[in-house]
Chain A
């Protein structure tokens, strides 16, 4: 279990010093012989990193799980550069890069980041949807990259501090939606990208995959082909993610997305399928009826995990510290406990239903459609689409003037606006490569590239990795995503039925009660936690000396929210949760 780090410096000794400063232990693991560079594994940090290794004359290290290795071998064979039999996934991906370039990377289906010493450059490769994450920074004339943000935090040459623009992004989105991190100078490689870092400090980026809308609006054919095509892709996406000779676990909420993954796993896997659901306690809302129904229908071995508020209070700091960038959803502790349960029972792969909403049109699209219907130039409510999208997140975007202290607001005066993360998708210029003609597809594209890559997948990867388990998301399969953007939007949001084409594709596999139930989402009792088991912790952390001295948040606003006041609608709990998550994360990073 390890993460990796790599450095490219003016001298070989310098590179070695940087790698050691980031936490690599000298003499542990293979040494590399590339001039002015060094790479190592960071033992003790939970992750699937391997290397450094050499193939095709290139040295690399990475975290790579491929789901279509045979197809990649065929491609290399046809190119005349066959890969050795049984070579590891990371080496196979490196050979694809060496032989086929970015197109070879695009052929890969899987979860991967790969750092390659390519000539005099350091090349960073990230998978299509962002299932794995890699960070990079430049200091002292050197480039460093790592899959551990903590490693870069330890790099003394960088001297990181808190990035105020990222604080604003987090409070707006509840995660960090793009390349920025909470550490100044540290950036994240965007999904679907190959980044080439040169010794002179220049950076060039290649896009190996970006969703493209493929619609012929004038020739709206019937839904049948789209439904059947999607069904075949879903079966492939689940099948290629099943562990060959092991049992598989599925996180089953009882919604359509995780239910269809359960049904397909039960249908396609020859080994036992175990399902796991969460209960927050008797008397609190849950979806156990639906998840139990699906488990019985699919014949899985089902287990309900009881997550009490006291447990959440006890494990919240640990969950926050496991994340490279904070995630303000209240499911981090439950997700961690599920990963523990899966690991305890001996499964190494856990499937989930993440991706259904951003890929096929879940809730929250209708408000933005209505917003556009109401556009009126110069009206007091008129705002551009990107700004309205931030508002539709319903986090702390509108509260920033009363939430942040004057000093924090001053620090943000010259910071780039958070709208920049969504504008490429929602307000593309006529020649933009991101342009999609339908508003629904623009919203889905935006969700996929922001929430999908920087919240959902990141959270899953970090929390499951911490337990040595691999979380896999079939609905984020690149071919499934491509199919979604080739499906007419009216088959995704049909009338007011969300994810219609997805539901039709699996209607025969699940009880009608599950397929046709309205979306409810997992109702997490945040408010009860904050006024119950988390009350003292919340008060001490948010109003204590540490938070006061940091000077980010106005104490009077926090007190008002803690009393359940200060907002038109009762959303104080969700807002406080963001602040609390950030506070815990900052403490864990000693910021």
Chain B
């Protein structure tokens, strides 16, 4: 079923501003409408509770404001190309003034982050039950700006900062005896491969699990996220895990991708908190059973307390 679109501003088809008086009036009207849409999007992105958000999140929220069909009109899982050109959005945002948008985070600095100022010697002396690694630098900063790290007691790092892992962090993870490293990634071949990269970089740290917290195509479709399209790399497609459904692999093979930034900020923060805060549930499987057998001597009985 194809959802019906309401009559909307085709912002990417804006006429040339240097045209005659008629087109100029139209341009002004469209610009004003786009600015109003940005204002509405900023208010929505900050809800509930005054969340902070990135420019890219604001762009996707503006897309949703301009095209309610993305979220409202249909429950059929699908993705659609963003209805608003990024360049049009950026121009309108510049005209409106970035600094005056409540909740909009400033662009990340180009230079390396300033070092931590903590002087206490015991910061890494304890166990760390969880760690979040984000593919997108801006998303990591957004989660930090919304104090997800404090709420979930979970450091939030970007791939670029996290890999290779600081030995103090890996030791702290190991000390927790059952820690999880969560990987928040886009629904793209590179994003989906990130979990494997993190696992490989972490090395054989006993008891530490690496878990994907990111998007796969079916999530993007279920949430009706705006999706982009780009070049396809054969080697990246070949490395996709077998856990993806054939339709998902086909979707990725068409060069499609969906970004975490396209998830509404409130959903994203809530989802990350819900998934990272809870205690890790140990699930028995054939493999864990085999591992247990490996540590149990032949003809010996397992300890009934489960400590063996």
Interface residues of A, Cβ cutoff 8 Å to B: 217, 366-381, 388, 391-392, 398, 437-440, 442, 489-490, 493-497, 512, 518, 565-569
Instruction: Flag if A495 contacts B176 (CB, 8 Å).
Output: yes
B179: min CB distance to chain A, Å: 8
Contact A438 B144, CB 8 Å, known A370-B155, A568-B48? no
Instruction: Flag if A369 contacts B126 (CB, 8 Å).
Output: yes
Instruction: Flag if B122 contacts A496 (CB, 8 Å).
Output: no
A391 vs B153: C-alpha distance when bound (angstroms): 13
B124: min CB distance to chain A, Å: 8
For B113, the chain A residues whose CB sits under 8 A away are 376, 379
Known interface pairs A567-B49, A569-B273; 18 further A-B residue pairs with C-beta atoms within 8 A, sorted by A's residue number: A367-B149, A372-B116, A373-B118, A373-B124, A374-B149, A374-B156, A375-B118, A378-B109, A380-B144, A381-B147, A391-B150, A438-B121, A490-B122, A495-B176, A496-B127, A496-B129, A568-B269, A569-B270
For A437, the chain B residues whose CB sits under 8 A away are 120-121
B282: min CB distance to chain A, Å: 13
Is B17 on the interface with A (CB-CB < 8 A)?
no
Instruction: Flag if B116 contacts A371 (CB, 8 Å).
Output: no
Instruction: Flag if A377 contacts B122 (CB, 8 Å).
Output: no
B147: min CB distance to chain A, Å: 6
Within 8 Å by CB of B147, from A366, A391, A496, lies A391
Q: Quick one: closest B residue to A497, CB to CB?
A: B127
Contact A568 B49, CB 8 Å, known A369-B126, A375-B117, A375-B118? yes
A223: min CB distance to chain B, Å: 14
For B106, the chain A residues whose CB sits under 8 A away are 380
For A378, the chain B residues whose CB sits under 8 A away are 109, 114
Is B175 on the interface with A (CB-CB < 8 A)?
yes
For A388, the chain B residues whose CB sits under 8 A away are 150
For B120, the chain A residues whose CB sits under 8 A away are 372, 437-439, 442
Within 8 Å by CB of B177, from A375, A495, A568, lies A495
Is B292 on the interface with A (CB-CB < 8 A)?
no
Against A, the Cβ 8 Å flags (1 = close, 0 = not) of B103-131 are 00110010001111110111111111100
Instruction: Flag if B51 contacts A568 (CB, 8 Å).
Output: yes
6 nearest A-B pairs in the assembled complex, by CB-CB distance: A495-B127, A377-B114, A496-B127, A439-B120, A438-B122, A381-B144
What's the interface size class on B, roughly?
Answer: 35 or more
For A518, the chain B residues whose CB sits under 8 A away are 279
A125: min CB distance to chain B, Å: 34
Against A, the Cβ 8 Å flags (1 = close, 0 = not) of B147-178 are 10111111110000000000000000001110
A146: min CB distance to chain B, Å: 40
Is B145 on the interface with A (CB-CB < 8 A)?
yes
A227 vs B180: C-alpha distance when bound (angstroms): 31
Within 8 Å by CB of B175, from A217, A370, A374, A495, lies A495
For B270, the chain A residues whose CB sits under 8 A away are 568-569
Instruction: Flag if B153 contacts A367 (CB, 8 Å).
Output: yes
For B122, the chain A residues whose CB sits under 8 A away are 438-440, 489-490
For A381, the chain B residues whose CB sits under 8 A away are 141, 144-147, 149
Instruction: Flag if A376 contacts B150 (CB, 8 Å).
Output: no
Instruction: Flag if A370 contacts B49 (CB, 8 Å).
Output: no
Instruction: Flag if B118 contacts A439 (CB, 8 Å).
Output: yes
Instruction: Flag if A370 contacts B145 (CB, 8 Å).
Output: no
For B52, the chain A residues whose CB sits under 8 A away are 380
Contact A373 B155, CB 8 Å, known A379-B144, A437-B120, A568-B270? yes
A490 vs B121: C-alpha distance when bound (angstroms): 12
List, sorted by A's number, 19 A–B pairs whose CB atoms are closer than 8 Å. A366-B153, A369-B153, A370-B149, A370-B154, A371-B149, A373-B155, A375-B118, A376-B114, A377-B117, A380-B145, A381-B149, A398-B49, A437-B121, A438-B121, A438-B122, A439-B123, A493-B127, A494-B127, A567-B48
A388 vs B144: C-alpha distance when bound (angstroms): 12
B55: min CB distance to chain A, Å: 13
Within 8 Å by CB of A490, from B126, B177, B273, lies B126
Output the residue of A380, A438, A518 with the most chain B CB within 10 A.
A380
Q: Quick one: closest B residue to A384, CB to CB?
A: B117
A57 vs B116: C-alpha distance when bound (angstroms): 58
Q: Quick one: closest A residue to B148, CB to CB?
A: A381
A437 vs B125: C-alpha distance when bound (angstroms): 13
Instruction: Flag if B49 contacts A496 (CB, 8 Å).
Output: no
Instruction: Flag if A372 contacts B126 (CB, 8 Å).
Output: no
A353: min CB distance to chain B, Å: 23
B235: min CB distance to chain A, Å: 35
A565 vs B48: C-alpha distance when bound (angstroms): 8
Is B255 on the interface with A (CB-CB < 8 A)?
no
Is B196 on the interface with A (CB-CB < 8 A)?
no
Against A, the Cβ 8 Å flags (1 = close, 0 = not) of B257-297 are 00000000010011001000001000000000000000000
A368 vs B273: C-alpha distance when bound (angstroms): 16
A449 vs B63: C-alpha distance when bound (angstroms): 51
Output the residue of A371, A372, A489, A496 with the most chain B CB within 10 A.
A496
Instruction: Flag if B125 contacts A489 (CB, 8 Å).
Output: yes
Within 8 A of A (CB), among B174-213: 175-177
B78: min CB distance to chain A, Å: 28
A276: min CB distance to chain B, Å: 29
For A374, the chain B residues whose CB sits under 8 A away are 116, 144, 149, 155-156
A438 vs B125: C-alpha distance when bound (angstroms): 10
For A565, the chain B residues whose CB sits under 8 A away are 48
A376 vs B149: C-alpha distance when bound (angstroms): 13
For B146, the chain A residues whose CB sits under 8 A away are 381
Contact A372 B123, CB 8 Å, known A380-B145, A398-B49, A496-B129? yes
A512 vs B304: C-alpha distance when bound (angstroms): 13
For B127, the chain A residues whose CB sits under 8 A away are 493-497
Instruction: Flag if B150 contacts A380 (CB, 8 Å).
Output: no
For B152, the chain A residues whose CB sits under 8 A away are 367
A573: min CB distance to chain B, Å: 15
A520: min CB distance to chain B, Å: 10
